[in-house]
Structure 1
Amino acid sequence: MNAHSILDNPSEILTIDTTDMGQRISDTPGMLNSAISQYDKNDLFPSFKPRDIILGGMGGSAIAGNLVVDYLANDLNIPICVCRYPELPYTPTENTLVLINSFSGNTEETISMFHQARSTPCKTIVISNGGTLSHLAPKYGIPLVNMSIQGEPRTIVPYHLFLLIQILQPYTTGSNIDNDLLETIDVAKVYSKEFSISNPSAKNPSKRLAESIKNRLLCVYGGGLLSSLTLRWKTQINENGKSLCISDTIPELFHNTLETFQEFEKINKDIFVILLQQNQQPQWLRSRYTTIKQLLNRFDIKNVTITTNETSDLAQIIHMMMLCDFTSYYLGILKQANPSPNKVIDEAKKMMS
């Protein structure tokens, strides 16, 4: 059976995807709905007005943090950063809000962040599904938001994103956030069907894209609202697709990456570039996409521009994330690799323990 027919044969897919990860990805609308219905909207710190926010986490938990920063960029008028290190980027004060994110609750770096935050006068919230952090938070009187969902940490990122939006909502100036959340669930339902395993390649852009990028070095570039999604694409291609992927952001890549577009580069024929482009871009960003496209074509580097037609920022993020999740999943299937287990990552953790 050739690779193309595998993607149009659900039963064949399930012989590779033995944990039914495809179904978990398809249930993104259900995840988003659960994130809303399960979250207690009572303000965790009713009278607190933070002057700065630190979002601590690793892997999918950190990416959820990056995405919420992108989404709330115009509605959160205080400094906010994402920390991916065992040490917090600075010493929090009594005016700092620290969100400790770990789906498993056992991530070494995130536990270290927790203890550092606890030793300062900052306000701390733990978001977890269990493990050590779910034990430590109540022990020290720190609010715990329980992630009542099953799946890989990377699979539940949409759920995690919706939780973070709701936790941070009291500190924003946004008035349409509740509507955005509900409308985005309807958007997710549309793409869940379009990208589903049962939808054939002829009607399924995620399957066709997976076919296009197999056996190529994938580079994903994007800017503006979709900046952090370039990293989401990289990590999903790595973990689900078991493939190397390079990500970069606009305008930063204009100061370094563009210089690698050279005629003498023999690797050009093996590269495939995805340009993630948001709806309604500012002029400065639009001109840079045009320039990149022209340069890629000049040097015969295969590329595709993916633009979302959704209007709300949150719907655009979820659309592009779902396309990423399904495409990376199908890439793993094309390689005859079960997308779910991360055997090399797990081995590395054991080697360091």
Structure 2
Amino acid sequence: MDLKKLQNEMDPKSMMGLVEAFPAQMHEAYELGESFCAKLAGGKLSRIVLCGMGGSAIGGDMVRSYLGSRLAAPLHVVRSYEVPGYLLEDALCIISSYSGNTGETLSAYESIKGKAASVVAITSGGKLGEICLRDGIPICRIPGGMPPRAAIAYSFFPTVHILWKLGLAEVSEEEFSRAREHLGRDCAEFSPVNPDNRAAEIARALHGYFPFIYSGGMLCEAVARRWCTQINENGKSLAHYASFTELNHNEIVGWETPEDLLGKIVIVSLEDREDHELSKRQRDIFLGIIEPLAAGLFRIETKGEDRLTRILSTMVLGDFVSIYLAYFNGLDPTPVEKIDYLKQRLQQ
């Protein structure tokens, strides 16, 4: 199959190009975060609250999964119009909205004013930029003009830098350099110029089927959510995600009916070497039970020397898969017409 031809036909706004540019976005986002954080001062902070939706919120999920035990305080991602008061004492609040116009995030910002110990914003501008400028809130300004889901580098790396600068996380510059080099190779490998690449292979298997994305509850938990939402928005397809071992306390029983639906499910299992050994055993038993019922199974082991490389390379693989799925569905991956319509209705 000629993937370049499909790209030319199906992708006039070049969502593929944005994903291929991720290593360059990493570099720019890293430097933006570093520059912004030079102005920040620390304080007594006992928790981190990131307010955001969609592509902005998933950046917070990814940071939490990546840093894991390197976090010096719990990180809560709030996808809501309001932040619960119990989260705000001694809290650093990061208000993240790519466009700056996300209704839930603007409302959440109003709910935390005067209550959080420290507040910073990550945005390309919009109403959030105006309000934070008025209120004297530090703003990490990121480049605009992209679909928010394609700008995850700009929500991820500034957040990492903020936590690092304020003494809330341990981060390695060498880890970043290794990750960027690895991601450069991945993006070249998954490019449409390589017709038999792994991302296209997985997308072909998912075409016409219902993807179930499973992960261990550690490094890949946020990645599984990202795969799911990218398949939704880019691939214009339904998808489901869940994590071990919670799903073995409920979802496993659901693999009985309806039988015609089970035969339309393709499982993607995201697996990392740091997953808990008992979680790995539960996963292997589960997949042994379920694989005969499903239409297919892909077991994807994370690649890379360190956590940053492994989490980002697995995420980027899913981004490529979602775009190829759009091509195979005969659809442009960029438009999100139902989201646009919903926002229009909300403004009426």
For this structure pair, what is the TM-score category when the shorter chain's length is used for normalisation? over 0.9
- The answer to whether 1:156 aligns with 2:151 is yes
Aligned to 1:111: 106
Deviation, 1:164, is 1.1
Q: Secondary structure at the match of 1:309?
A: coil
* Alignment equivalent of 1:78, drawn from 73, 80, 89: 73
Q: Residue 192 of structure 2 aligns with which residue?
A: 197
**In the TM superposition, what is the alpha-carbon distance from 1:308 to its structure 2 partner?**
1.6
Partner of 1:221, secondary structure, is: strand
> Kindly tell me: are residues 326 and 47 of structure 1, through their superposed partners in 2, closer, same or farther at Cα, counting changes over 3 Å?
closer
CA contact (8 A) 1:63 1:228 kept: yes
Residue pair 1:92, 1:120 contacting (<8 A) in 2 also: no
Which deviates further from its counterpart, 288-297 or 87-96?
87-96
Return the letter of the residue paired with 1:310: G
Amino acid at match of 1:230: A
**Counterpart check, 1:219 vs 2:222:** no
**1:294-333 equivalences in 2 (<5 Å):** 294-333=288-327
Q: Which moved more, 1:46-55 or 1:106-115?
A: 46-55
Give 2:42's aligned amino acid: S
AA of the residue aligned to 2:4: P
Q: SS of the counterpart of 1:275?
A: strand
Task: Give 5+ residue unaligned stretches, structure 1.
Answer: none
Q: What's the CA shift for 1:94? A: 5.6
CA distance, structure 1, for counterparts of residue 254 and residue 312 of structure 2:
31
Counterpart in 1 of 2:15? 21
For 1:88 and 1:125, the matched residues in 2 are separated by 15
Instruction: Flag the 1:250–1:9 CA change in 2: closer, same or farther, 3 A.
Output: closer
SS at match of 1:281: coil
How many residues are aligned here?
345
Q: 1:301 to 1:331 in 2, by over 3 A?
A: closer
Give distance in 2, aligned partners of 1:218 and 1:316: 22
Matching residue's letter, 1:325: D
1:344 matches 2:338: yes
Unaligned runs of 5+ residues in structure 2 are none
Native 8 Å contact 1:279 1:311 kept in 2: no
Q: Report the AA paired with residue 266 of structure 2.
A: F
**What does the per-residue CA deviation read over 1:277-307, in whole Å, with 9 as the maximum and x for residues that have no partner?**
0134331121122112211234355211111
Cα deviation per residue 1:227-283 (whole Å; 9 max; x = unaligned)? 111110110000000000011111111111100122762212111010000134331
Task: Return closer, same or farther for 1:300/1:217 CA change in 2, 3 Å cut-off.
Answer: closer
**Partner residue, 1:89:** 84
CA separation in 2, counterparts of 1:311 and 1:296?
31
3-state SS in 2 of match to 1:198: coil
Aligned to 2:268: 274
SS at match of 1:244: coil
**Percent identical residues:** 27
Distance between the aligned counterparts of 2:272 and 2:204, measured in 1?
23
TM-score w.r.t. the length of structure 1 is 0.93
Structure 2 match to 1:32: 26
TM-score if structure 2 supplies the norm length?
Answer: 0.94
